[in-house]
Amino acid sequence: MSRPRRSSRGEPHVRLRVALIAVTVLLTVFAARLGQIQGIDAASYVERAGTSGLVTIDLPAQRGSILDRNGQPLAESVSGLMLVADPQTTGPNAEAIAQVLADRLDLDYFDQVERLTPSDETTRFVYLARKIPATQATRVVEVLREKQLAGVDSRPDPLRTYPAGDVGGNLVGFLGDDGNPANGDDGNDPMVGLELAFDGDLAGTDGHETYEVGGGNRIPLGDRSKVDPVDGRDLRLTIDRDVQWYAQKALCTQVERFDATWGAAVVMDTETGELLALADCPTVDPVEPGQTPKDSRGSRALADVFEPGSVQKVLTFAGLLDADEVTPQTRLTVPGELEIYDRTIRDWFEHGVLRLTAAGALAKSSNIGTAMAAEEQSPEEFRGYLEAFGLGTPTSLGLPAESAGSLPALADWNRLTQAQVAFGQGLSVNAVQMAAAVNTIANSGLHVEPSLVEGRRTNGAGLEVGTGTTSVDRVVSAEAASETTRMMELVTGDGGSAPNAGIPGYRVAGKTGTAQQAGSQGYANGYKAVSFGGFAPADDPRFTVYVVVSDPKNGGSGAGTAAPVFRQLMTHVLQRYAVPPTGEREAAYPLWWKPSDR
């Protein structure tokens, strides 16, 4: 029987020979192709390489929210998108794409054509628009794809919103830009307010991503690096959004009614110094800040100073009571006019000789009686009390552009200076300073620094601020503060200068203020500012409210213009925080004295 024949293909040496032939053919092909690339087609490949390269794109951090004391947002970042383009791809259709962007996003047509057209062969990335609502940007991209217009894409770009509108707008501030998204401008430049003061915390740190593109497309396995963004920190305030809204509404109603230049209202927690409202009028809407004049976009309650007028008398008498230089029953024989050097001091009402007590001088808001009482104190002692009340020193709120106000220097102090400062002329304050000074009386003689930010934070100027940094200092004794409080209650009583500031069921302590303001030619061409400051319940203070209205044109006064706003705000905050009515009013100090009195 014969053996079966074996196929020669199965021999090892045959298989090896076939493999060597195949490798030789493959290497020959590779060599030929390399020669083609390096020689024949070298120019075309250099041109294609010119259209490849690395693209770097920003990865924006999400800006921290600004929240009220209850976590309600005053400013927050929501989903937004940026539109970007590859000019090498969009160039042939630049005009058609620019038309879509102009129609749907109201972008400048000619500007977009310029960006969409490549300036050279290496430009692979440009910004078209930043901070666009996500749904709007997504629809634009979809429309371009439907029209087969390639080269435009979107990337995440958080959008800043202000859900409370103008509530707290002068405090919160707003963001702006230079209007040039071609430079990658993200519209996140803080302009004023808390957005500016705490930008370092709020902004976070943007990241970036770099990747390789070729032929108009991202190369999946090309070079790539990425640095993730670090989102900003939230900023929680002491402000109560509801109280802030109400304060702005009540204040602006009165500012408009009296055709005033501006107004400010402060609502403060007596014990902690926390601001529940810091209202300004005019207000600014952070979404449309251009509709408000530049000088009204920040907080006038801090930036603008004024002569406080008769509210200052509260501080004058508190210092005199603390130093045992007067008592509420101290007798003052008050003439119709008081001559000091070449000046004549008068009261706001005409009168002959009055026999007022110190309490009566405050209740009737007598400039002459207050100036006479202040003569019992040395200039050094008097000025020292005012400094302790916080006058002449910036608050610790941490907002930019605050004015510190001023006190006359001791070197320039004389009898006339003392008299004028005693009843609130010749010095300047801002509204928050004055609120904190009045609050010192409510807080049993302890001056507590006002605060706007919860916790402990550092602003852009390096100042550490917030409720965690608040200091408390004794200015006058608890007894002197109590006596001053009872004197202030006379103001809101039937015989006082502002009974319309009283609130049924509550004991209310307060003081009116109407002060001339110096102009370029002194008081001759100046104007006036009217104010009211006080607290309630007077026998167990919970809140302090201070209101100032600048330059009312229609006969405004502290009692007629500012006191009604005080009453509205105090009533609202007492009800909101369910503060119960307290005890009955104590027996009033006498306002007058008789020669027969002992």
Report the pLDDT value the prediction gives residue 442, as an integer from 0 to 100: 98
Does 203 or 598 have the greater pLDDT score? 203
pLDDT band at 45 (very low <50, low <70, confident <90, very high): very low
Cα 23 versus chain centre, distance: 75
pLDDT, residue 293, reads 87
Q: What is the mean pLDDT of residues 230-251?
A: 97
Q: How many angstroms separate the Cα of 142 from the Cα of each of 57, 113, 149? A: 22, 19, 10
Q: How far apart are CA 28 and CA 32, in angstroms?
A: 6
**Confidence band, pLDDT 50/70/90 cuts, at residue 296:** confident
Mean pLDDT for the stretch of residues 485-512: 93
Number of Cβ within 10 Å of residue 539's Cβ equals 17
Q: Which of 42-56, 60-74, 287-301, 360-374 has the lowest mean pLDDT?
A: 42-56
Average pLDDT over every residue of 235-261: 97
Please state the rounded mean pLDDT for residues 550-574. 94
**310 counts as catalytic:** yes
What digits encode the pLDDT tens for the residues 146-181? 999 999 999 888 889 999 999 999 999 998 754 444
DSSP-assigned beta bridge partners for residue 274:
451
pLDDT band at 219 (very low <50, low <70, confident <90, very high): low
DSSP 592: B
| pLDDT exceeds 90 at position 518 | no
* Mean pLDDT of the 572-596 span: 89
CB 289 within 8 A of CB 444: no
Short-list 284, 306, 299, CA closest to 527: 306
User: Mind listing the pLDDT tens digit for each residue in 260-295?
Assistant: 999 999 999 999 999 999 999 999 999 888 888 888
Rounded CA gap, 300 and 224, in Å? 50
How far is residue 51's CA from residue 383's CA, in Å, rounded to a whole number? Answer: 75
Confidence of residue 49 (pLDDT cuts 50, 70, 90): very low
Residue 36 pLDDT exceeds 60: no
Please give the span between the terminal C-alpha atoms of the chain, in angstroms, as a whole number: 159
The pLDDT of residue 179: 41
Instruction: Supply the pLDDT for residue 50.
Output: 43
Q: Check 310, 451, 497, 557 and give the catalytic one.
A: 310
What was the pLDDT predicted at 222?
61
What percentage of the chain exceeds 90 in pLDDT?
A: 68
Question: What is the pLDDT confidence band of residue 46, given thresholds at 50, 70 and 90?
Answer: very low
Q: Are 498 and 489 in contact (CB under 8 A)?
A: no
CA 360, distance to chain mean position in Å, is 41
Strands (E), 502-590: 509-536, 543-550
pLDDT of 68 over the 60 cut: yes
Q: How confident is the prediction for the chain on average, in pLDDT?
A: 88
Residue-wise DSSP of 206-239? -EEEEEEEETTEE-TTS-EEEE--BPPPPEEBS-
List the single range of 174-178, 250-254, 314-318, 424-428 with lowest mean pLDDT.
174-178
Of 226, 248, 271, 316, the closest CA to residue 439 belongs to 271
pTM of the model: 0.84
Give the pLDDT of residue 54: 74
DSSP label at residue 147: T
Q: Is 105 exposed, middle or buried (0-12, 13-18, 19+ CB in 10 A)?
A: middle
Domain 241-576: top CATH class: alpha beta
pLDDT at 346: 94
Across the chain, which distance is largest between two alpha carbons, in Å? 162
- Partners of 535 in the β-ladder: 509, 544
Percent of the chain with pLDDT over 70: 86
For residue 464, pLDDT over 90 is answered with: yes
Higher pLDDT, 400 or 382: 382
User: How high is the pLDDT of residue 408?
Assistant: 96
- Please say if the pLDDT value at position 214 is more than 80: no
Can you tell me the mean pLDDT for 84-99? 93
What is the spatial distance between Cα 397 and Cα 167, in angstroms, rounded to a whole number?
Answer: 18
pLDDT of residue 12: 64
Q: How far from chain centre, in Å, is Cα 55?
A: 38
Q: Which one is predicted more confidently, 17 or 419?
A: 419
Quick one: average pLDDT of 47-59?
A: 61
CA distance 512 to 502: 12
Q: Which of 38-42, 91-95, 423-427, 480-484 has the lowest mean pLDDT?
A: 38-42
For residue 20, pLDDT over 80 is answered with: no
Greater confidence (29 vs 138) lies with 138
Lowest mean per-residue pLDDT among 203-212, 366-375, 389-398, 452-461 = 203-212
CATH 3.90.1310.10 fits 64-207, yes or no: yes
pLDDT value of residue 221? 59
CB 495 within 8 A of CB 591: yes
Residue boundaries of the structural domains of the chain: 64-207, 241-576
